């Protein structure tokens, strides 16, 4: 698709493709045609598009959808897959300018005519006109959402509703819902025609039919994250949203997930929360100066709701997955759905608000203290997350009253208003995703849930864990396939481990990179700035800090290497220390390739040891060593015969005398 004037157009990448099953869109047969209104074209049973569709048994002769929908669906899927395999769709990189994405065929006309333009003027050089002016703009969803007119030249008017376009992706695919043929996309379809068919297209491939989204589905979505709470039950001066989870502030988990689903994310914070605003930058923030309830907090951000759907999330629910958020938006997109919400069935419902339903619709939310005995038996509980149209949501928020003991405005009151205006539907999600964090014990429970999720993902990607429950990961830990992790290993932030490496028991890694086929530990500590090349051995009670180990280098026992570069195939003996700190400044040690460092060597930085050099065991190295040289930095040994017995006798006599 290329941005063409005021609307999008799909153009075939091969001008010779005119087979009946291609369903070409745009400038049919490279000839300009007279503009035609979409409703007229859709109502003509023998329009050129319907002829091609009927030839493929996609529609009947009268232009209505084929009664054998499963056969049509299967045939459409086979056609799309065959075209993709034959290269008859082009890969689109939305980060590149439009003119570099695909070849645009020149538009030919009858002799003596010029190419028609949708503005009814003539363009001498249509190809240059298409490519000019928008040369630097990338293909983006906003361009066709804001399009005010359609290309009038033989545009196929089959309505296609695209969900999860551009940023709205599910596991690397675009989810397209095809609607019946023969009608304009601007005509409301009867309920019977809404049966969806899921067509899964690889991300980046141009679907050979024009995507026409309805105005409602094209509006941007907004997520409002409520994070103004102090979290008094945490017993901390740190805002609750900044407490760490998986090595990073809990709110960052939620904001990062929401940013992959919604077009914009806005965070409502409290006064004097500059650290929180910095943690979630560059997302917009608004301040709730008076903490008067959740509905009041949502109202603080109403100017940033936008024109589409708006969802209310909570900073103390950081583990909601991308899949659940997309389910919430899909539920809201159902016909006649005024509001969609998330619900759960916790193992212990305790004092959660109960969701009272009638069939598949929600009637109201009943707080535990106000629920009857029968209502308390309901296991479906409110998770607090809701999604509604921005305009209606504004109206409901302003109608919420503070007629309760706390004199606060509660967001749950919106549910009853939405139920009166339309249908309220719910999406049921696991308790582990939706359980809130209000105390230290609940924070520990959330950490356990996150660790279980990270371990499962690592093992599914080819990592072996002997005792997974004893391995602790961070969200940015990168483990290649065929990595083996023994029990009781802790990964700090920013760790990358290459394929075939073994991390032995009781090791701690942080801010380091480990290559392929390495052996780390047991009881090893790799501190920030450490880089280990392939086939490096770091043994028990070895600590590396800002050190680089060349390919095949070894430090197997009781060693500290700080601010050092160790060359390939160098062996560092047990008890070696690089003295890198003089109390004021750090100094580096440079050790070349194929060097042998004797046990118990003390290397006082700054110093350089050349390739192939050797230091004798027990040496203190204070000066640089030339390549292939032997360095001895210890006192000369002197043996005195019989002196050991004399010393013992003298000391024994002294002890007996008292």
Active centre residues (catalytic): 557
Chain centroid to Cα 640, Å, comes to 73
**How are beta strands 173-178 and 198-202 bridged, if at all?**
antiparallel
The CA–CA distances, whole Å, from 403 to 251, 302, 410 equal 31, 22, 10
Alpha carbons 283 and 487: distance in angstroms, whole number: 39
What are the phi and psi torsion angles at 18 (to 5°)?
-135, 25
Alpha carbons 472 and 476: distance in angstroms, whole number: 12
Chain centroid to Cα 605, Å, comes to 44
- Please count the other Cβ atoms lying within 10 Å of the Cβ belonging to residue 110: 8
**Rg of the Cα atoms in the chain:** 34
Alpha carbons 181 and 43: distance in angstroms, whole number: 10
Which residue has tokens 């017993």? 235
Which long-range contacts (C-beta less than 8 Å, at least 24 apart) are formed by 532-538? 533/568, 534/498
3-state helix, strand, coil in the chain (%, to 5): 25, 25, 50
Outline where 86-140 has alpha helix (H). 126-131
Q: Which two tokens stand for residue 249?
A: 């502030």
The answer to whether 251 and 326 have CB atoms below 8 angstroms apart is: no
Query: Helices 390-399 & 413-421, crossing angle to 10 degrees?
Result: 120
The CA–CA distances, whole Å, from 566 to 369, 501, 562, 591 equal 67, 19, 11, 5
The CA–CA distances, whole Å, from 124 to 112, 115, 121, 135, 373 equal 12, 7, 10, 19, 79
Alpha carbons 284 and 259: distance in angstroms, whole number: 12
CB-count burial class (<10 Å; 0-12, 13-18, 19+) for 408:
middle
Alpha carbons 579 and 588: distance in angstroms, whole number: 9
Alpha carbons 102 and 177: distance in angstroms, whole number: 25
Chain centroid to Cα 237, Å, comes to 30
Alpha carbons 658 and 655: distance in angstroms, whole number: 5
């Amino acid at each position: 698709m290329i941005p063409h004037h005021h609307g999008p157009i799909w153009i075939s990448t091969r001008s010779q493709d005119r087979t009946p099953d291609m369903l070409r869109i745009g400038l049919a047969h490279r000839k300009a045609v007279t503009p035609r209104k979409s409703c007229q074209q859709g109502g003509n049973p023998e329009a050129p598009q319907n002829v091609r569709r009927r030839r493929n048994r996609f529609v009947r002769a009268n232009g209505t959808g084929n009664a054998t929908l499963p056969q049509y669906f299967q045939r459409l899927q086979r056609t799309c897959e065959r075209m993709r395999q034959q290269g008859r769709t082009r890969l689109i990189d939305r980060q590149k300018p439009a003119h570099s994405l695909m070849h645009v065929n020149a538009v030919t006309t009858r002799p003596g005519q010029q190419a028609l333009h949708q503005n009814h003027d003539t363009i001498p050089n249509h190809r240059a006109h298409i490519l000019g002016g928008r040369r630097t703009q990338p293909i983006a969803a906003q361009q066709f959402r804001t399009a005010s007119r359609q290309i009038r030249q033989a545009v196929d008017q089959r309505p296609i509703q695209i969900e999860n376009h551009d940023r709205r992706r599910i596991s690397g695919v675009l989810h397209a819902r095809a609607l019946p043929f023969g009608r304009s996309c601007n005509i409301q379809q009867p309920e019977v025609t809404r049966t969806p068919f899921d067509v899964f297209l690889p991300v980046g491939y141009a679907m050979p039919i024009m995507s026409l989204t309805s105005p409602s589905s094209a509006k941007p979505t907004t997520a409002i994250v409520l994070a103004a709470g102090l979290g008094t039950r945490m017993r901390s001066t740190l805002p609750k949203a900044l407490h760490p989870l998986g090595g990073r502030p809990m709110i960052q988990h939620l904001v990062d997930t929401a940013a992959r689903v919604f077009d914009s994310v806005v965070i409502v914070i409290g006064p004097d929360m500059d650290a929180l605003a910095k943690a979630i930058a560059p997302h917009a923030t608004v301040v709730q100066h008076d903490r008067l309830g959740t509905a009041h907090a949502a109202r603080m951000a109403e100017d940033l709701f936008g024109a589409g759907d708006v969802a209310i999330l909570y900073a103390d629910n950081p583990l909601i997955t991308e899949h659940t958020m997309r389910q919430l938006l899909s539920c809201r997109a159902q016909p006649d759905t005024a509001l969609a919400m998330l619900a759960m069935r916790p193992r212990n419902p305790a004092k959660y608000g109960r969701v009272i339903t009638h069939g598949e619709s929600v009637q109201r939310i009943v707080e535990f203290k106000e629920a009857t005995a029968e209502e308390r038996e309901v296991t479906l509980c409110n998770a607090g997350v809701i999604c509604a149209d921005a305009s209606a949501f504004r109206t409901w928020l302003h109608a919420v009253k503070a007629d309760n003991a706390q004199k606060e405005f509660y967001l749950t009151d919106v549910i009853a208003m939405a139920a009166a205006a339309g249908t309220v539907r719910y999406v049921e999600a696991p308790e582990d995703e939706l359980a809130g964090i209000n105390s230290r014990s609940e924070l520990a429970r959330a950490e356990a849930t996150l660790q279980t999720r990270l371990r499962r993902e690592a093992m599914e990607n080819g990592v072996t864990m002997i005792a997974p429950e004893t391995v602790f990961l961070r969200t940015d830990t990168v483990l290649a396939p065929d990595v083996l992790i023994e029990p009781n290993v802790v990964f700090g932030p920013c760790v990358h481990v290459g394929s075939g490496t073994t991390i032995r028991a009781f090791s701690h890694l942080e801010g380091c990179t480990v290559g392929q086929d390495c052996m780390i530990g047991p009881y090893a500590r790799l501190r920030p700035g450490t880089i280990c090349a392939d086939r490096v051995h770091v043994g028990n009670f070895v600590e590396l800090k800002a050190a680089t180990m060349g390919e095949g280098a070894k430090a197997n026992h009781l060693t500290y290497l700080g601010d050092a570069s160790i060359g390939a195939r160098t062996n560092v003996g047990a008890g070696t220390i690089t003295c890198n700190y003089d109390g004021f400044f750090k100094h580096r040690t440079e050790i070349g390739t194929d060097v042998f460092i004797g046990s118990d060597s003390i290397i006082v930085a700054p110093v350089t040891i050349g390739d192939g050099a050797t230091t004798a065991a027990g040496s203190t190295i204070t000066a640089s060593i030339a390549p292939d040289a032997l360095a001895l930095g210890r006192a000369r040994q002197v043996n005195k015969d019989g002196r050991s017995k004399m010393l013992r006798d003298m000391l024994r006599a002294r002890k007996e005398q008292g």
